[in-house]
Amino acid sequence: MIPASRLENPASTDRTLAEALRGYFAANGFGEDGGYSAAWVDFHLGRIPMPFPNTAARKRAVPRHDLHHILTGYRTDVAGEFEISAWEIGGGCRDFVAAWQLNLGGMAGGALRWPSRTWRAFVRGRNSRNIYDRPYDAALLSTSVSQARHDLGLDTAPPPATWVDVALFAVALSAGMLVALVTLVLFAPLALVAAPILAYLKRAHDRRATAMS
């Protein structure tokens, strides 16, 4: 079993996932519901704030992604996000298209900046399970952190990597590089042009929400 003290940002194993999630929101300044109900979310393209609609696909994926942070111990800083991207790709994101897209790009970035950590996270994901194939419901949230880690195989160290892991890592990394390249070449310039429009729409939405409250 992996001691909790070795995990980054460990959650108390005696708490339920719901309790751990509330602590995670507070520790990261995500608000009472983690921003799940927000109509808009902020993304930063370098130093440029880029508000964009909080789509249904994102709302479906992010709660599970947040629980993965709690269960794996990966932080919410840049390195931790790259690691959890590789871990989720290693385990598979099922039919969560938004998760595949974001994680492939994140894994590619991690392989360039922190290759060893990204590789270890991918192998860990290959040898554990995640909750992308589970309903996000009261039954899941009432599970203790320790039980959930055990159910997903996160309380034991992964075995040595195999040639299949190496091959799949190479395939995923190639796909991630392609996603990152397309995003940079096609969408980044469009995002810069659209930033003032999106910011205006977000402010207009916020004003309407304030007036109705």
Mean pLDDT of 55-61: 92
pLDDT of 183 reads: 75
Specify the number of domains making up the chain. 1
Residue 7 has pLDDT above 50, yes or no: no
Written as one letter, the residue type at 163 is W
Mean pLDDT of 36-40: 84
Q: What digits encode the pLDDT tens for the residues 177-195? A: 998 888 776 666 556 665 5
CB-based contacts of 155, cutoff 8 Å, min separation 6: 1, 2, 146, 149
State the sign of the Cα–Cα–Cα–Cα dihedral 97, 165, 172, 79: positive
Residue 201 has pLDDT above 70, yes or no: no
Mean pLDDT of 41-46: 63
Provide the domain limits for residue 153: 4-212
Residue 46 has pLDDT above 60, yes or no: no
Residue 21 has pLDDT above 80, yes or no: yes
pLDDT of 3 reads: 39
